[in-house]
Amino acid sequence: MAMTLEGPFRRRRARRSAAWALLLPNDMRWAMVAGILALAGRAVSAAYLVELNPGDRMTVDSYWVDGDRMHLVRGGVDLIVPRARVRSLHQVEGS
């Protein structure tokens, strides 16, 4: 009698490992690579060291002047201070 792969001895298809679940479609991979590169470029951008009148210092990502006020942006938060309170502003490397 010939042995067959039917019945209780039928060969099961190997299950895919959990690593296969982590693989993403090509479109998603490109989106993730673009996002990582954008964040990496942001991490090495220039920053500004702001010295305020009472001797306080802070590093900001960007700034702009609006009349007699200065907008100091750090981590997406816009801090508005009177322009007269800013003693000096220097560009520094890193953020």
- Counted domains in the chain: 1
**By C-alpha distance, which of 44, 54, 59 is closest to 89?**
59
Q: What is the pLDDT of residues 30-74, one digit of tens each?
A: 777 777 777 775 555 669 999 999 889 999 999 999 999 999 999
Establish if 53 belongs to a structural domain: yes
Helix H or strand E segment including 46: none
Domain that includes residue 87, residue range: 46-95
Q: Is residue 15 domain-resident?
A: no
Tokens of 53: 């009148």
**In a domain? residue 68:** yes
**pLDDT band with cut points at 50, 70 and 90 for residue 13:** low
pLDDT interval class at 25 (50, 70, 90): low
Pick left, alpha or beta for residue 18 (phi over 0 → left; psi -120 to 50 → alpha; otherwise beta). Answer: alpha
Give the CATH number for residue 79. 2.30.30.100
